[in-house]
């Protein structure tokens, strides 16, 4: 049962008299407990709601367009509480956060609904046979799964969960039911790498084509690991070994199915200090949100967008600006900034590399830069008319950094407007070219 928070004026539900506060018991005779039930059962043209209104039990029949939303809003996106993680993974990033951050940052979600709706990764450890049957019945696809290893005993160790090994069977059940799956392996040095990594990738490859892709990403290690499982970062030579292993497997798989299937994240190539692959390597970027091919994709988008740039508008655009980014993307952002400024004679841009003093030197991605580091490292610097930052530095509302420093406070400290740009080639150019300086008056 879920409670209606609001009804959109003029919607099919509004016209039939559904009201805020009504409790939905069932839709077309099916119990409703969350957003997935609701969305699955409202796709029909004729929908019968069984409602509680106070002590009264009502039936409301609605005729609407197929897939048309009836017009109901609910208290939360999921119509239910998020499912939390039951593991204590040896590499968990949340366990490496310092005290005193926003409460929401300490919540560990492990929710198959968020996997389907938003692309989050799940471990399957808090799921039941009934949950798996529901996914199959609703054909919730794709599902993103954090595998890490297909060795049951090792998976129990890595996830610190005695059920983690036996839950691997769910992957095969989902694959055999035709559910599309993307997998990730968080690689920990000396734990699940080497021969164990090869076995895991080969085991998952047996479940193609249901399993579409596997991303291999290095564990993120902050300076707050005191008392946690001892882990070390991959050296450049060790990172090259990982890349060579995955390339060998990818070449083998692509010779049979035309797709590589397994991919290292950009971080491994940056750790190895080696050139990133071109776009053909990534087979359409199936793991882009996992940092696999992100820089290559953005470079490709940037140069395509540059070709479409209006020459007259580019020549007239006058702006002095700065850009802040992490160490990982610094060389690339410097490259495309220089290229844009070279095309537009009245543009002057400077890129600043922000070291992650807050989380530690091993964290180099832009999305984990905190407001305190931005302020301390840029205060007093020549930032021009405006400072651009990638939007991933801020929470979803685009108003606050990870350390709860607000965008407004950072602007006040640095004395310039701070504009978040979308992390894409198009978003990079658009953010700069469409920005208009405020007049001094």
What does the alpha-carbon distance between residue 329 and residue 265 come to, in Å, rounded to a whole number? Answer: 13
Residue 112: per-residue pLDDT:
65
CB 116 within 8 A of CB 180: no
Angle at 299 between CA 297 and CA 304, to 5 degrees: 95
CB-CB neighbours of 72 under 10 Å: 23
Could you tell me if 145 and 123 are in contact, meaning their C-beta atoms sit under 8 angstroms apart? yes
- Contact between 365 and 406 under an 8 Å Cβ cutoff? The reply is no
Rg from Cα positions in the chain: 25
What percent of the residues of the chain are helix, what percent strand, and what percent coil, each to the nearest 5? 40, 20, 45
| Parallel/antiparallel/unpaired status of strands 143-146 and 181-187 | parallel
CATH class in words for 94-291: alpha beta
Do the Cβ atoms of 317 and 346 come closer than 8 Å?
Answer: yes
CATH 3.80.30.10 residue ranges for the chain: 94-291
Could you tell me how far CA 320 lies from the centroid of its own chain?
32
What is the H or E stretch that residue 26 is in?
A: strand 23-27
CA dihedral (165, 167, 171, 176) positive or negative: positive
Start-end of H helices in 139-282: 152-159, 169-176, 195-205, 236-257, 266-271
**Between vectors from CA 312 to CA 311 and to CA 316, what angle results, nearest 5°?**
115
Between CA 425 and CA 441 the distance in angstroms is: 33
Indicate if the alpha-carbon torsion angle 327, 329, 335, 336 is positive or negative: negative
Q: In whole angstroms, how far apart are CA 431 and each of 315, 336, 390?
A: 17, 13, 10
The segments of the chain whose pLDDT lies below 70 read 78-80, 111-118, 312, 439-441
The residues near 440 (Cβ < 8 Å, ≥ 6 apart) are none
Q: Which residues contact 133 (CB under 8 A, 6 or more apart)?
A: none
Q: Class of 2-74 per CATH? A: mainly beta
pLDDT at site 441: 42
What are the Cα distances from residue 71, in Å, to 4, 6, 39, 120, 390?
10, 9, 12, 26, 34
Nearest alpha carbon to residue 25 among 72, 57, 62, 66 = 57
The pTM of this model reads 0.85
Contact assessment for residue 287 and residue 240, using Cβ atoms and an 8 Å cutoff: no
- Report the C-alpha dihedral over residues 226, 231, 233, 239, rounded to 10 degrees: -170
**CA dist 259 → 14, 89, 256 (Å):** 49, 31, 8
In the block, residue with structure tokens 């850009």: 323
Residues of the chain with CATH 2.30.42.10: 2-74
The whole-angstrom separation of Cα 290 and Cα 334 is 23
Q: Give the DSSP letter of residue 64.
A: -
């Amino acid at each position: 049962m879920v409670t209606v928070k609001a009804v959109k004026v003029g919607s099919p539900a509004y016209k039939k008299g559904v009201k805020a506060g009504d409790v939905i018991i069932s839709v077309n005779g099916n119990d409703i407990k969350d957003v997935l039930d609701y969305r699955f059962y409202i796709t029909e043209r004729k929908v019968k709601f069984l409602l509680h209104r106070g002590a009264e039990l009502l039936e409301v029949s609605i005729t609407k367009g197929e897939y048309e939303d009836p017009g109901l809003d609910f208290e939360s996106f999921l119509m239910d509480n998020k499912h939390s993680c039951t593991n204590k993974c040896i590499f968990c990033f949340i366990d490496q956060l310092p005290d005193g951050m926003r409460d929401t940052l300490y919540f560990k979600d492990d929710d198959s609904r968020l996997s389907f709706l938003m692309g989050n990764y799940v471990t399957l450890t808090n799921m039941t046979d009934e949950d798996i049957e529901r996914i199959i019945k609703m054909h919730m696809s794709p599902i993103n799964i954090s595998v890490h290893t297909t060795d049951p005993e090792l998976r129990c160790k890595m996830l610190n969960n005695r059920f983690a090994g036996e839950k691997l069977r769910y992957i095969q059940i989902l694959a055999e039911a035709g559910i599309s799956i993307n997998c990730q392996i968080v690689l920990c040095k000396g734990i699940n790498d080497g021969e164990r990594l090869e076995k895991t990738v080969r085991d998952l490859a047996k479940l193609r084509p249901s399993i579409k892709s596997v991303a291999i990403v290095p564990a993120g290690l902050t300076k707050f690991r005191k008392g946690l499982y001892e882990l070390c970062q991959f050296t450049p030579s060790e990172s090259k070994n990982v890349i060579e292993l995955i390339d060998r497997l990818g070449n083998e798989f692509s010779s049979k199915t035309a797709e590589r299937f397994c991919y290292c994240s950009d971080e491994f190539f940056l750790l190895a200090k080696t050139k990133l692959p071109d776009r053909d390597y990534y087979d359409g970027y199936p793991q882009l949100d996992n940092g696999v091919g992100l820089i290559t994709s953005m470079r490709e988008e940037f140069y395509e967008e540059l070709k479409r740039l209006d020459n007259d508008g580019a020549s007239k655009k006058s702006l002095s600006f700065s850009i802040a980014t992490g160490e990982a993307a610094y060389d690339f952002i410097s490259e495309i900034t220089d290229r844009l400024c070279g095309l537009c004679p009245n543009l002057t841009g400077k890129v600043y590399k922000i070291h992650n003093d807050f989380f530690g030197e091993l964290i180099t991605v832009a999305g984990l830069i905190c407001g305190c580091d931005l302020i301390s490292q840029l205060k007093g610097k020549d930032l021009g008319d405006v400072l651009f930052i990638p939007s991933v530095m801020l929470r979803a509302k685009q108003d606050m950094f990870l350390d709860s420093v607000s965008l407004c406070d950072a602007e006040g400290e640095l004395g310039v407007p701070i504009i978040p740009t979308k992390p894409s080639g198009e978003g990079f150019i658009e953010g700069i070219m469409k920005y208009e300086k405020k007049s001094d008056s």
